[in-house]
Amino acid sequence: MRDLLLKMNSELFKTSGVLTLVLFSLETFKDGFVSFFINPAIFLFVFLFSAIIWLFTQDSDSI
């Protein structure tokens, strides 16, 4: 079960990382494009949280 959760966290880590990058890029191209509707920092926090779990747990190095 622990393995499964760690693998799911790896998926979340990858997706939230890409999503954060895309959303902040869109926000850079046009101010308010993303932030008018949703706070992109939410995805940054998800990314950081999943990154911390990924970084400090064993067996989740297979990214």
Partner 1 sequence: MSLGKEQKIIFFCRAFLLFFGFALILWIFFANLVPSGKIVLVHKKGDPGSKISDLHPDSRVIYLEEDGSYQRFFSDPVYFDAKVPRDFDKVVVEIIWQNQYQPILELGSRKTRDAWGFVLKPLENKILDNISWPCERYGDVLFCQKIKKYENLGDFLAQEISKTAYYNYEIPNCESCEKINEDTDLSDYDYVIASYVSPEDVGFGRKKKKIEFDWKDFDLYINEISFLISAPGIERGRGQVVLEEINITLNRDPLDFDGFVEYVKANLRRLKK
Give the binding site for partner 1 (CB under 8 A): 1, 3-4, 7-8, 11-12, 15, 18-19, 22-23, 26, 29-34, 36-39
Q: Which is nearer to partner 1, 26 or 55 (CB)?
A: 26
Using alpha carbons, select from 45, 39, 5 the residue that is nearest to residue 23.
39
